[in-house]
């Protein structure tokens, strides 16, 4: 399973907040408990990801290209998707979602569904 930099950083910062002291029985968490909850939620989401995520060409890339604003150029994301071995399951996972999934925008996925029906 591949971890993205943001998740690794978040989890690492969370574990740094554990004060182990010299006696492990006295170990305690010394930061905001919500940070620990957030890190655990990130790890849980990683464990629930479909297996095809590990093969995605966009793995490790930031979300900006795949969630462009109205009128922004989607071609850079689509160029990455064109080389992706898992574009088909990605497009299926994007049903009802915003952004570029499997190389298609929300509008393109809608048209593809209509054409297939």
pLDDT, one tens digit per residue, over 53-104 is 889 999 888 888 888 888 888 899 999 999 999 999 999 888 888 899 999 9
Q: CB 48: neighbour CB atoms within 10 A?
A: 7
pLDDT at 19: 58
Give Dmax over CA atoms of the chain in angstroms: 66
Taking the CA atoms of 89, 104, 80 and 5 in sequence, report the sign of the dihedral they define. Answer: negative
Confidence of residue 1 (pLDDT cuts 50, 70, 90): very low
Q: How many CB atoms lie within 10 A of CB 94?
A: 19
Mean pLDDT check: name the lowest of 37-41, 45-49, 68-72.
45-49
Residue, of 14 and 88, whose pLDDT is higher: 88
pTM attached to this predicted model: 0.58
Q: How far apart are CA 45 and CA 80, in angstroms?
A: 24
Those residues with Cβ within 8 angstroms of residue 45's Cβ, 6 or more apart along the chain or in another chain: none
What's phi and psi for 101, nearest 5 deg?
-130, 125
Q: Does position 6 have pLDDT exceeding 80, yes or no?
A: no
Q: What is the mean pLDDT of the chain?
A: 79
User: Coil, strand or helix: which one is 28?
Assistant: strand
């Amino acid at each position: 399973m591949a971890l993205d930099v943001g998740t690794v950083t978040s989890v690492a910062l969370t574990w740094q907040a554990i004060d182990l002291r010299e006696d492990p029985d006295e170990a305690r968490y010394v930061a905001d408990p919500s940070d620990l909850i957030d890190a655990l939620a990130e790890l849980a989401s990683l464990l629930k990801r479909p297996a095809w995520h590990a093969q995605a060409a966009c793995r490790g890339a930031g979300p900006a290209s795949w969630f462009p604003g109205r009128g922004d150029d989607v071609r850079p994301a689509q160029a990455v998707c064109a080389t992706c071995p898992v574009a088909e399951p990605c497009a299926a996972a994007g049903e009802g979602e915003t952004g570029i999934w499997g190389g298609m925008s929300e509008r393109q996925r809608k048209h593809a569904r209509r054409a297939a029906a």
